Amino acid sequence: MADMNKVGKRICKYREQMGLSQEELAVNSGISLQTIKEYEEGIAYPPIGSLIRLSRALGQRVGTFTDDQFNPDPIIVRLEDREPEASSHGDKGDYVYYPLGKGKTDRHMEPMFIKVGEEDMPELSTHEGEEFIIVVSGKILFVYGKEKRILEPGDSAYYNSVVPHYVGAIEGPAEIYAVLYTPL
């Protein structure tokens, strides 16, 4: 599992480099002050939507918070070498993220494999950019604006992530591949 404290330290580092207080970062990112404190202290790991909002507020790529080293192209991640980074949502819904582009420091997309758990209280997310998902296993509830759709293995969705959206498992866990693009 990823080191939550590593991500929190990087959030703090870039916040301080910009001369921002935690309160200012909370306002700029739209994330509560308490949550910012939990991220920086390593108590909680930010979900991808929060990482995107933090990256925008701090002028960094999303991968800046999770990458440890540079690797020359091409970046190949073998199935057996995937390393998870986890983020919990709600009471029973866990999302486990497996970054697939770590080490490519000049990337513009965030490819990942995600194990998706069910959530009791789904929350819509919104951020700049685009997302593409494809369901590998299980069933996904995909909410896009006022539309609700059920996605099954092999189904995909490509959408503008400025529109409020939600991707969550229903009727048990699910797995997806996702590619996120967020302009700097």
pLDDT digits (tens, 9 = 90+) for 139-158: 999 999 999 999 999 999 99
User: Which of the two residues, 43 and 170, has the higher pLDDT score?
Assistant: 170
Same domain, 86 and 160: yes
Task: Supply the Cα-derived Rg of the chain in whole angstroms.
Answer: 16
Same domain, 126 and 177: yes
Same domain, 48 and 85: no
Sign, CA torsion 75/85/48/133:
positive
Whether residue 73 lies inside any domain: the answer is no
What is the SS3 assignment for 18?
coil
Same domain, 109 and 134: yes
List all residues 6 or more positions away from 99 whose beta carbon is below 8 Å from its beta carbon: 63, 66, 83, 85, 110, 111, 112
Same domain, 35 and 85: no
Supply the CATH number for residue 17's domain: 1.10.260.40
Same domain, 158 and 89: yes
Return the bridge partners of 89, or none: 93
Q: How many structural domains comprise the chain? A: 2
The model's confidence at residue 183, banded by pLDDT at 50, 70 and 90, is confident
Whether residue 74 lies inside any domain: the answer is no
Question: What pLDDT, on the 0 to 100 scale, is given for residue 73?
Answer: 75
Whether residue 72 lies inside any domain: the answer is no
Distance CA 160, CA 22 (A): 29
Cβ neighbours around 172 below 10 Å, total: 10
Same domain, 103 and 176: yes
pTM recorded for the entire structure: 0.67
Percentage above 70 pLDDT, the chain: 90
Question: What pLDDT, on the 0 to 100 scale, is given for residue 92?
Answer: 46
DSSP 49-98: HHHHHHHHHHT--GGGGT-----PSPP---GGG---EEEEETTTEEEEEE
Question: What pLDDT, on the 0 to 100 scale, is given for residue 1?
Answer: 42
> Which of 37, 65, 93 marks a domain boundary?
65
Same domain, 83 and 40: no
Instruction: Answer whether residue 26 shows pLDDT above 80.
Output: yes
The model's confidence at residue 126, banded by pLDDT at 50, 70 and 90, is confident
Question: What pLDDT, on the 0 to 100 scale, is given for residue 97?
Answer: 87
Structural domain containing residue 14: 4-65
Supply the CATH number for residue 140's domain: 2.60.120.10
pLDDT digits (tens, 9 = 90+) for 52-109: 889 888 888 777 777 666 667 788 888 998 888 766 554 445 788 898 988 777 778 8
User: Which of the two residues, 152 and 4, has the higher pLDDT score?
Assistant: 152
For residues 53 and 85, the answer to whether their CB atoms sit within 8 Å is: no
Question: What pLDDT, on the 0 to 100 scale, is given for residue 68?
Answer: 62
Same domain, 83 and 119: yes
User: Which of the two residues, 180 and 45, has the higher pLDDT score?
Assistant: 180
Question: What pLDDT, on the 0 to 100 scale, is given for residue 66?
Answer: 72
Same domain, 98 and 159: yes
Percentage above 90 pLDDT, the chain: 46
Whether residue 70 lies inside any domain: the answer is no
